[in-house]
């Protein structure tokens, strides 16, 4: 039987791809949204892909938000960018604005549409980050964007007590975004060596681990905080 329907942004790699694969395997329907799809969605009868650059307001409005035929409809606002890694005074305005648009404005608009348009049982998740609470030199846009997402989730959860709304902190996950972090210039990024060391010592979490934790949360009846770490559930 159909377990429900997931609408996941950013399914071409990393956490979104692992979640699309795991949820198709677990019996959910998946609508992937992003610039590129993934094999699991393309090859599965319950998989669907809608191409959209989430920084394009017209594309955001065109995403088909349809409810699950049975079970919950679940929105996963996952697509994101690390944004410019540079000293704040040197950051290009366009790069900063792009980061805020993709990481903050797009999930806010998609969530508003989802809450208006989807009837029945629904859940909303945001891929948050420890960077929301931990200042990292050179990452001003990213840290600010994830702090905004956490606080947005807190407010929306308060406004909609009947809807499960959460932002999850996945830890350091072995995805292309971590590769971008390791390959960035260390001039403005004092903590870079910690990220390189964590990778070299095998400390990164695999995206499949995050996906399995989320699948547990979707069906769990246990109360958890609005902002939670996937390693704690």
Ligand X SMILES: NC(=O)c1ccc[n+]([C@@H]2O[C@H](COP(=O)([O-])OP(=O)(O)OC[C@H]3O[C@@H](n4cnc5c(N)ncnc54)[C@H](OP(=O)(O)O)[C@@H]3O)[C@@H](O)[C@H]2O)c1
Active-site residues, by number, are 142
Contacting residues for 221 by C-beta, under 8 A, at least 6 apart: none
Name the closest residue to ligand X (Cβ): 14
What is the secondary structure of 72-131 as a DSSP string?
A: -EEEEE--------S-GGG--HHHHHHHHIIIIIHHHHHHHHHHHH--SSEEEEEE--GG
* Token digits of residue 231: 């390693």
Q: How far is the CB of 47 from ligand X (least distance, A)?
A: 15
Q: Closer CB to ligand X, residue 13 or residue 224?
A: 13
Alpha-carbon span 196 to 10, nearest angstrom: 24
Q: How far is the CB of 173 from ligand X (least distance, A)?
A: 4
* Token digits of residue 27: 């019996």
Q: How far is the CB of 53 from ligand X (least distance, A)?
A: 5
Alpha-carbon span 60 to 45, nearest angstrom: 24
Q: Closer CB to ligand X, residue 4 or residue 80?
A: 80
Alpha-carbon span 145 to 105, nearest angstrom: 9
Residues within the interface to ligand X (CB under 6 A):
10-16, 34-36, 53-55, 78-81, 102, 127, 129, 170, 172-173, 175-178
C-alpha atoms less than 13 angstroms from C-alpha of 233 in its C-beta half-sphere: 28
Secondary structure letter of residue 26 according to DSSP: T
């Amino acid at each position: 039987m159909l377990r429900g329907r997931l609408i996941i942004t950013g399914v071409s790699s990393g956490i979104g791809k692992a979640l699309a694969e795991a949820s198709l395997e677990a019996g959910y329907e998946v609508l992937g949204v992003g610039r590129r799809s993934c094999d699991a969605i393309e090859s599965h009868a319950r998989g669907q892909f809608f191409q959209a650059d989430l920084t394009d307001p017209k594309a955001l409005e065109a995403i088909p938000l349809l409810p699950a035929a049975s079970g919950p409809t679940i929105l996963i606002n996952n697509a994101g960018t690390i944004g410019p890694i540079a000293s704040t005074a040197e950051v290009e305005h366009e790069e900063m604005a792009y980061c805020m648009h993709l990481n903050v404005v797009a999930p806010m608009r998609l969530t508003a549409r989802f809450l208006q348009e989807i009837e029945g049982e629904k859940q909303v998740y945001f891929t948050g980050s420890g960077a929301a609470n931990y200042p990292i030199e050179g990452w001003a846009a990213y840290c600010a964007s994830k702090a905004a997402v956490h606080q947005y989730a807190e407010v929306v959860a308060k406004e909609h007590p009947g809807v499960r709304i959460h932002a999850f902190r996945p830890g350091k996950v072995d995805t292309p975004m971590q590769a971008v972090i390791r390959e960035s210039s260390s001039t403005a990024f004092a903590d870079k060596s910690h990220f390189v060391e964590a990778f070299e010592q095998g400390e990164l979490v695999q995206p499949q681990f995050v996906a399995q934790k989320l699948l547990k949360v979707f069906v769990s009846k246990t109360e958890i905080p609005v902002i939670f770490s996937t390693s704690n559930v």
